[in-house]
Chains A and B, each alone.
Chain A
Amino acid sequence: MPMQAGSMEEQFPLIQRLNEDGELVGELGIVDEQGLVDVYRSMVMLRRFDERAWNLQRQGVIGTYAPFKGQEAAQLGAAYGLGARDWLVPTYRDWAACWARGVPLEHGLFFAKGHPRMGAVPEEARVFPAQVVIAAQTLHGVGLAWSLKLRREAAAALVTFGDGAASQGDTHEAMNFGSVFGVPLIFFCENNHWAISVPLERQMRSETVAQRALAYGMEGFRVDGNDYVAVVNLVHDLAERARRGEGPFLVEAVTYRLGAHTTADDPTKYRASDEEQRWEQRDPIRRLERFLLGRGLLDDAGIAEAEEAALQEVEATLERFRQALEEDPAVLFDHVYAELTPQLAAQRDRFVARAKEVEH
C-alpha cells in the first residue's frame, strides 16, 4: 500500500543549524565560534589538497583518485563528532574524515599510488584502512562495533558509505545484523546524490535513505550534510547514545559530490551543469565563511591567510609523500600484519635478495 505523499520526508526532516546563507538557524551546541574558524581553515586546506591530488593524477604522479570536494562538512562533522576512543571505518573518498581523526593526509596519495604505507594508519587515530569495495566496510563496521560491545568498551564506531553503497546487499545485511545485535555503530551515509553516473532516483524508490532505518528497527536521521554544525552535533549525540547501548543508528547526510566520481570519470557526460551550480550555492565552505564573516570572526585578511596556510600545508603533505616514494620497497611487508607470518618473512627475504641481484 502506498505511503501518504511526502510522509517520509516529513518523518525524517532535514536537520539544519547553519543554513545556505550562513545564518544560524539552530544552536551551536558542542562547537564554539573560535572552533568554527579552525574548522573553516581545515576545510580550505582540505579543498586545496583535493584539487592538487586531482592534478597529481593528471600529471602521472598518482593513480586513480576519488575527490571529496563538497563533502568536507559531512566528513569533518562525522569525524569530530566522535570521541577519542571511538572508531572510524571509512571508504576511499573519506580523506577529510580520516585526516580529522589523525591519519596524515598523504595517505590519500599513498592509496592512489598503491604505496604500502597506506596500511600504516596511526593506532591512536582508530581508523580502519580505506575500503574500496563498495559497501564492504559496513560489514566491517558492524563487526568492529560488535567486538566493542562484547569487550564492554565504552566506545562507538561510525562507518561511512555512499548512496550507491546504500543499494548494495552488504549494507542491508550490515544494518540487519547490526540492529539485531544492538551494536554501538552509526551508519553514516554520505548521500552525495550520484553513484558514479547513476542518480539517486535510479538508486532507490524511497524518498530518503534515512527511512530505511524503520525497516531495521533503528532510529534514522536526515541531516544537511553541508552544514558542519548540524552534522557534528548529531554525530556527537548519537555516539554518546551508542556508547550507552542505544545503537545502532542511521544518519543520512544530504550532500553533493561537486566533482567527478574519480579521475577516470567525466560528470559533464551525465549530469546537467545547473545542478552543480545549484549545489555550489550550498557549498559547505562558502556557508561557513559567510557565517564567520557575519560574526566578525573572519575578514578578507583572514581568508587570504587561510589560503596561504592551506597551500603551505599541502606542500608539506606532498613533501612527506615524496619522501615516502624513496622508501625501501621492502616496506611492502611492513604494514599488513603486526608480526610477519613465517611465510611472509621468507617471502620478504627472497624479495630483498632478489632486489639486490637486480641492482648489480
Chain B
Amino acid sequence: MEWKFPDVGEGLHEAQVVAWHVHEGDHVERDAPLLDVETDKSVVTIPSPVAGTVEKVLFREGDTVHVGEVVVVFGGADGVASDDGGRSSGAPAPAAEVSPTVDATASPSAEPSPVVLATPAVRRLARELGVALTEVRGTGERGRVLAEDVRRAAEQRSEPAGGHQPEQVQGAPGQPARARAETVAPVESASETPAVELQPADQRRPLVGVRRRIADNMARAWAHAVHVTVVEELVVDELVALRERINAYLAPQRMSYLPLVVKAVASVLARFPEFNASLDEEAREIVVHAQRHIGIAVDDPEGLLVPVVRDADRRSVRELVTELGRLIEGARQHTLGPADLTGSTFTITNFGSIGGIVATPIINYPNVAILGMGPIRRRAVVRADDRVEPASVMFLSLTFDHRVVDGGAASRFLVALKAMLENPAALLTELV
C-alpha cells in the first residue's frame, strides 16, 4: 500500500521531513509513530496508517514533501482496511510522479508555489490573465502579490519590445493559461520579471520551517524596534584569571565566560530595569519584567535558537554552568520544549566564539535590548600612566530599542557592566 502525504494542517501544501521513526524493512504497528514533518506551523508526528512492513521510504530527512506525493510504501499491511486507501482528504490528488513544477503545468488551475502570497481574487485574476504568480514581484505587505502587480506583469508580457499597447492586456485572457504556466520553470522566468534573476545553476528553495520562523522573527524585530548599538572596550585580565581559577576549582568541569557574563548582566539589570523589559505595542505599554530570564543565542546548522535561563539572578555561577550546559546541548539536540525557548526578558549573543570583533545584534523581539560578546584577544592597551602593554581585551555590543530607552541609559548600562566584568571581585557581592 502506498501512503500519500495528506494535508496534516489546514490548507497545507508541503512540509519538511524532520525525522523518521522507522526504517525500510521495519515492522510497524498501526498508529505507532512513523515520521515527523515540520510544517510552517509546527512539527507534526504522523502515526502509521496501517500495521505492516515498511517496504520503501521515498523521502529522506530534510526533504520537502508535497501533499499528494507517495511518502512510504507498506507491504504485507494487515490493516489496510483501516483507512480509505490513502485517499487524501481535501487535497487534490496529483498523478503519482509529477514534480511540483510539472504539476503546475498539468493543471491551469493548480496553485502555484505556496510561497507566493496572494488573495483568492488575485489568484483568479492571474489565472484569467494567464500570469503565473511565481513570476510576479509582489509589492504588498511581506511581498504579497496585489491585483495591480498581476496586471503589470500581464502588461509587460504583452508589450512587444519598446511598444506600449495596454489594450492587449484586455486580450490576455485569450492566451492559454497552460502556456504561461509552463514558464514557471525558473530558468525561463528571468527575462521579464524584476525579481531575482536566476541563472541555470541557481537553485530556488522554499522558505519553510525553522528558517522561515527566523526570517519572520528577524523581519518583525527589524520592522518594529529602532535599533541602536553602542560598543564598549573591556580590559578583562582579571576576568581571565578568575575563570582560570574557577575552572581549576570546578575540574574536570570547565566553563566558558558565559556564566560570568550572565551573572553580571543579571545583576546590572537590577539597577537598569528598563533594559529588562518588553514593549507591548498593542497596549502601548512598556512592560518591565520582575524576573530576569536571560535568552542565549545558540548557533545551530539548522538555524539560530534562543534558549532561556530562567531567573538567572537567583542562580549561583555553578548552577548557571549546569543550566547553560543543559540548554545549549538541548538546543543542538533539538530536545528543548517551548518552556525553554520562550519568555526571555533580555538576550545575550556570544558572536565572538566564532569570529568578529564587533557586531550589531538584532533584538530578540519584543525584548528591549541584546548584548553581544566579542572574543577576548590580546591587544596593546594604554594604561593610566600612559604605559602601553599587552592585555586581554573584549568588546561588548549593546543593541537597544531606542523607542523604549535612550542612548545615555544604554551607555550607563554598558559602563556598569564593564565595571563589574573588569573587576570581577564585584561579582562576589552578587552571590546568592
Chain B positions 388 through 403: 1 when the CB is less than 8 Å from some CB of chain A, otherwise 0: 0000000000000000
Query: Of A263, A272, A318, which contacts B8 at CB under 8 A?
Result: A263
Check if A55 sits within 8 Å of B31, measured CB to CB: yes
Contacts of B8 on A, CB cut-off 8 Å? 57-58, 60, 263
Check if B87 sits within 8 Å of A64, measured CB to CB: no
Chain B positions 27 through 48: 1 when the CB is less than 8 Å from some CB of chain A, otherwise 0: 0000100000000011111111
Check if A63 sits within 8 Å of B47, measured CB to CB: no
Max count, chain B CB within 10 A of own CB: residue among A63, A112, A273, A274: A63
- Nearest CB of A to B214, in Å: 15
Q: Which residue of A lies closest to B46 (CB)?
A: A58
Query: Of A56, A62, A264, A272, which contacts B10 at CB under 8 A?
Result: A264
CB of B432 within 8 A of chain A?
Answer: no
Question: 8 Å CB contacts to A: which residues of B1-59?
Answer: 3-10, 31, 41-49
- Nearest CB of B to A106, in Å: 13
Check if A61 sits within 8 Å of B84, measured CB to CB: yes
Q: Which residue of A lies closest to B343 (CB)?
A: A272
Check if A269 sits within 8 Å of B47, measured CB to CB: no
- Nearest CB of B to A116, in Å: 15
Contacts of B337 on A, CB cut-off 8 Å? 268, 273
CB of B86 within 8 A of chain A?
Answer: yes
Task: Compute how far the CA of A55 lies from the CA of B88 in the bound complex, rounded to whole angstroms.
Answer: 13
Chain A positions 37 through 81: 1 when the CB is less than 8 Å from some CB of chain B, otherwise 0: 000000000000000100111111111100000000000000000
Contacts of B87 on A, CB cut-off 8 Å? 60-61
Check if B41 sits within 8 Å of A58, measured CB to CB: no
| With A269-B42, A272-B339: A60-B5 Cβ-Cβ less than 8 Å | yes
CB of B338 within 8 A of chain A?
Answer: yes
Chain A positions 249 through 278: 1 when the CB is less than 8 Å from some CB of chain B, otherwise 0: 000000000000011111011101110000
CB of B384 within 8 A of chain A?
Answer: no
CB of B191 within 8 A of chain A?
Answer: no
Contacts of A60 on B, CB cut-off 8 Å? 3-8, 49, 83, 86-89, 91
Query: Of A270, A272, A274, A325, which contacts B84 at CB under 8 A?
Result: A325
Task: Compute how far the CA of A273 lies from the CA of B86 in the bound complex, rounded to whole angstroms.
Answer: 34
- Nearest CB of A to B133, in Å: 24
CB of A322 within 8 A of chain B?
Answer: yes
| With A59-B49, A61-B84: A113-B89 Cβ-Cβ less than 8 Å | yes
Question: 8 Å CB contacts to B: which residues of A95-154?
Answer: 112-114
Task: Compute how far the CA of A57 lies from the CA of B89 in the bound complex, rounded to whole angstroms.
Answer: 8
Check if A262 sits within 8 Å of B10, measured CB to CB: yes
Contacts of B81 on A, CB cut-off 8 Å? 322
Contact size range, B: 20 to 34
Contacts of A61 on B, CB cut-off 8 Å? 6, 49, 83-84, 87, 89
- Nearest CB of B to A129, in Å: 19
Check if B44 sits within 8 Å of A58, measured CB to CB: yes
Chain B positions 148 through 187: 1 when the CB is less than 8 Å from some CB of chain A, otherwise 0: 0000000000000000000000000000000000000000
Q: Which residue of B lies closest to A56 (CB)?
A: B83
| With A262-B10, A264-B9, A264-B10: A62-B44 Cβ-Cβ less than 8 Å | no
Task: Compute how far the CA of A270 lies from the CA of B343 in the bound complex, rounded to whole angstroms.
Answer: 11
Contacts of B41 on A, CB cut-off 8 Å? 264-266, 269
- Nearest CB of B to A198, in Å: 13
CB of B355 within 8 A of chain A?
Answer: no
- Nearest CB of A to B416, in Å: 33
Q: Which residue of A lies closest to B5 (CB)?
A: A60
- Nearest CB of A to B87, in Å: 7
| With A62-B89, A63-B7: A266-B42 Cβ-Cβ less than 8 Å | yes
CB of B82 within 8 A of chain A?
Answer: yes
CB of B200 within 8 A of chain A?
Answer: no
Q: Which residue of B lies closest to A274 (CB)?
A: B339
Task: Compute how far the CA of A61 lies from the CA of B43 in the bound complex, rounded to whole angstroms.
Answer: 19
Contacts of B4 on A, CB cut-off 8 Å? 60
Question: 8 Å CB contacts to A: which residues of B71-87?
Answer: 81-84, 86-87
Check if B10 sits within 8 Å of A64, measured CB to CB: yes
| With A64-B10, A266-B41, A318-B82: A59-B338 Cβ-Cβ less than 8 Å | no
Contacts of A114 on B, CB cut-off 8 Å? 89-90
- Nearest CB of A to B17, in Å: 14
Contacts of B48 on A, CB cut-off 8 Å? 59
Task: Compute how far the CA of A270 lies from the CA of B337 in the bound complex, rounded to whole angstroms.
Answer: 11
Task: Compute how far the CA of A318 lies from the CA of B7 in the bound complex, rounded to whole angstroms.
Answer: 20
Contacts of B45 on A, CB cut-off 8 Å? 58
Question: 8 Å CB contacts to A: which residues of B333-366?
Answer: 337-339
Task: Compute how far the CA of A306 lies from the CA of B338 in the bound complex, rounded to whole angstroms.
Answer: 35
- Nearest CB of A to B212, in Å: 14
Query: Of B88, B90, B338, which contacts A268 at CB under 8 A?
Result: B338
Contacts of A57 on B, CB cut-off 8 Å? 6, 8, 89
- Nearest CB of A to B15, in Å: 12
Check if B83 sits within 8 Å of A58, measured CB to CB: no
- Nearest CB of B to A101, in Å: 27
Contacts of B31 on A, CB cut-off 8 Å? 52, 55
Task: Compute how far the CA of A55 lies from the CA of B86 in the bound complex, rounded to whole angstroms.
Answer: 13
Task: Compute how far the CA of A166 lies from the CA of B166 in the bound complex, rounded to whole angstroms.
Answer: 53
Task: Compute how far the CA of A262 lies from the CA of B41 in the bound complex, rounded to whole angstroms.
Answer: 13
Contacts of A112 on B, CB cut-off 8 Å? 89
Task: Compute how far the CA of A329 lies from the CA of B160 in the bound complex, rounded to whole angstroms.
Answer: 50
Task: Compute how far the CA of A52 lies from the CA of B7 in the bound complex, rounded to whole angstroms.
Answer: 17
Task: Compute how far the CA of A58 lies from the CA of B5 in the bound complex, rounded to whole angstroms.
Answer: 9
Task: Compute how far the CA of A318 lies from the CA of B89 in the bound complex, rounded to whole angstroms.
Answer: 16
| With A55-B47, A268-B338, A269-B42: A63-B84 Cβ-Cβ less than 8 Å | no
Contacts of A64 on B, CB cut-off 8 Å? 10
Check if A322 sits within 8 Å of B84, measured CB to CB: yes
Q: Which residue of A lies closest to B48 (CB)?
A: A59
Task: Compute how far the CA of A114 lies from the CA of B86 in the bound complex, rounded to whole angstroms.
Answer: 17
Contacts of A266 on B, CB cut-off 8 Å? 41-44
Chain B positions 86 through 126: 1 when the CB is less than 8 Å from some CB of chain A, otherwise 0: 11111100000000000000000000000000000000000
Q: Which residue of A lies closest to B4 (CB)?
A: A60
Q: Which residue of B lies closest to A268 (CB)?
A: B338
Task: Compute how far the CA of A270 lies from the CA of B341 in the bound complex, rounded to whole angstroms.
Answer: 11
- Nearest CB of A to B14, in Å: 14
Contacts of B339 on A, CB cut-off 8 Å? 272-274
Contacts of A268 on B, CB cut-off 8 Å? 42, 337-338
Known: A61-B6, A263-B10. 11 other contacts (CB 8 A): A57-B89, A58-B45, A58-B47, A59-B6, A60-B8, A60-B83, A63-B90, A112-B89, A114-B89, A264-B10, A273-B337
A residues at B contact (CB < 8 Å)? 52, 55-64, 112-114, 262-266, 268-270, 272-274, 318, 322, 325
B residues at A contact (CB < 8 Å)? 3-10, 31, 41-49, 81-84, 86-91, 337-339
Q: List 17 A-B contacts (CB under 8 A).
A: A57-B8, A58-B44, A59-B46, A59-B83, A60-B8, A60-B83, A60-B88, A61-B6, A61-B87, A63-B89, A112-B89, A113-B89, A114-B89, A263-B10, A269-B338, A273-B337, A322-B84
